[in-house]
Structure formats: C-alpha cells, structure tokens
Amino acid sequence: QELEQLTLCCLVVSICVGFLCKVALFVAQGSTMRESVRLLEDARTQFCNGDNNQLTRRRYQKLSDNIYYYYQVVAVPAVIGWVLCPLLSSSVTMTDQDQQEARRQLPMPVWLPFDINKSPTYEFLYVAQSICSLVTSQSCLSVDIFFVYMMLMAAAEFEVLNDNVSAMEYTNLKTARTEPEEFISKYKRSGGNLALPQNGQDLGEETYIENAKHTWLHQQLLKNVLHHQKILRSVSLLQSGMNVSIFCLLFINMANLCSSLFVAAVLLQRDGSVGKALNALSTIPVQLYETTIYCIYAHILTDQSDRLMYSAF
C-alpha cells in the first residue's frame, strides 16, 4: 500500500510541477505576449488586399478552433476518468460498508492530521480535488491553445504576405505582356510602318502611365516590406516568450511519460491497483497530444516563412 501511494504521489508531483512551470513562465512573459498580440492585430488590420486575405485568416482561425475542440476531447475524459476512478474502483472491489469506509480513496493522495474517511470530510475533499483538477487542466489547456493560436495567426500572416508578393509578380508579368501587344497594334494601325507618336502629348501620356504603374508597384512593395517587418517583430517576441516555457514543457512531458509508464507497471503488479494504473495511463494521450500540436503547428509557421523567398522570385 505504501509503495502504491508513493509511486502515485511521484506521478502527481511531476505533473503538478509541469503545470506550475508552464503557468508561472506564461505570467512572467505577460508583457511580451501582449506586445506580440498587438503587433499581429495591427498587421491584420493594416495589411489586407481583398477577400482572399480574409479567407486565409478565417481558415487559420477555424483550424485553431478545431485544435481547441480536439484538445478538449482528449483532456476532459482524462480528467473525468482520473476523478471517477477511485469511486469505481471502491464500488467494484468493496461491498461491506465498514470496509468501504476504511478503504476510501481520493483522486489525489493527501495526508491530513484528521480522519479523511469520515463523512462529510471525505465528500468535501473529493469535490474540492475534483474541481481543482478540472480548473488546473483547463488553465494549462488555455495556455497551450494560446501559444498554438499565436503560431497559427503568424503563419496566416506569412501566407497572406506570400499571396500579396505573388500577386505583385503576376501583375508585373501581365503588364509586360500587354506592352508588346500595344506595340503590334500601333504598328498595324500605321499601315505596316513603324510610327512614333506625332506629338509630345501622346509620349507624355505613355510616360505618365508607365510612371503610374511603377509607382503602384513601389507602393505595393513598400507595403509588403512593412508587413514583413511587423510579422518578424511579432514572431520574435513570441519566440522569446516561448523558448524557456516550451523547453521546460517538452522536458517535463518526456519525464511524465516515463513516469506514467513506470507507475502503471508498478501498480499493475499488485492486486487491486488496476484503477490507479488506469489513472496513470489516462495522462499519456494528453501529454502526447500536447507535444504533438507544438511540433506540427510550429512546423507550419516555419514552412510559411521559408516560402516567402520563392514567392518573391
């Protein structure tokens, strides 16, 4: 019994340390995160060239919402299973009321100077631990979703910038293709002989049109450069706020995965410990999903950033 309690306590402590580190680092980087959010919001407001850009941003917003829902599907059943497992285990293994009172279990191991198995102390502690477990899981889930949301919104801005740069290239090519057609049309109208404009007014009009085209391209290029600079500043702030937090998160997740497997193996070797072993195993899908979303969606951000070079050339 003491070995079971010790192994389960080690797992709970390692998970709680990960939660505390994540939340503490997030709060410590609050000003940096707010500045990054402000820059991304300014970029969304200032740099928009039509409905196509809005569709791109809405697509990434929908993807972020889906990730949140999937995360809830993984996390909430794990918390509910952790909370209900002691009740189910005691109801299956115990039938006598006196023995059941003597062997009552809580979702989290706790040692207090008074008898925790007496009613209503046991019920109060059970409800309090259940609420704390749900609030803690939702708080950490919100921190993860915030980071993923910021990465996806930065990726959306990079994709919008890629589309705008590619549109400049298309406009330039279209202009270059229409100039020979205008030359041939003038050549035919002159009866097959090359004819230059007869007065300075026509030449000045053509020069004005060319200057207007170059001015428009220059303005678009300047707008895209400013957009790129704002995205880079936002991503730089986001990276500075995430570096330590994500390193600690991934390190603690690896430790928790190993701890969960070790605790489950130890508990399964003893009679009557299936419920506690399931508690340990229920944390594995959440930790795997948490690690996966950071790897996948950070890769999307870097892909969109690297694509900018090909969009420009």
pLDDT over 90 at 145, yes or no: yes
Of the candidate ranges 63-67, 115-119, 180-184, 223-227, the one whose mean pLDDT is the lowest: 180-184
Q: Is the torsion defined by CA of 243, 245, 249, 255 positive or negative?
A: positive
pLDDT over 80 at 250, yes or no: yes
Give the span between the Cα atoms of 251 and 240, in whole angstroms: 18
pLDDT at 102: 46
pLDDT at 90: 67
Give the span between the Cα atoms of 309 and 191, in whole angstroms: 46
pLDDT tens track for 290-313? 888 988 988 998 898 888 887 776
From 228, 83, 258, select the one nearest 163 (Cα to Cα): 228
If you average pLDDT over residues 38-46, what whole number do you get?
Answer: 89
If you average pLDDT over residues 81-103, what whole number do you get?
Answer: 64
For residue 233, what are its two tokens? 């500043």
Tokens 């001015």 appear where? 215
For residue 13, what are its two tokens? 């402590």
pLDDT over 80 at 143, yes or no: yes
pLDDT tens track for 189-210? 555 544 445 455 454 555 655 6
Give the span between the Cα atoms of 50 and 268, in whole angstroms: 60
The number of distinct structural domains making up the chain is: 1
For residue 21, what are its two tokens? 């580190």
Contact 274, 90 (CB under 8 A): no
Note the pTM of the prediction, 2 decimals: 0.78
Select the more confidently predicted residue: 274 or 138. 138
From 156, 135, 136, select the one nearest 47 (Cα to Cα): 156
pLDDT over 50 at 183, yes or no: no
What domain range includes position 114?
2-312
Give the span between the Cα atoms of 160 and 231, in whole angstroms: 11
pLDDT over 90 at 60, yes or no: yes
Q: Is the torsion defined by CA of 111, 268, 249, 27 positive or negative?
A: negative
pLDDT at 101: 47
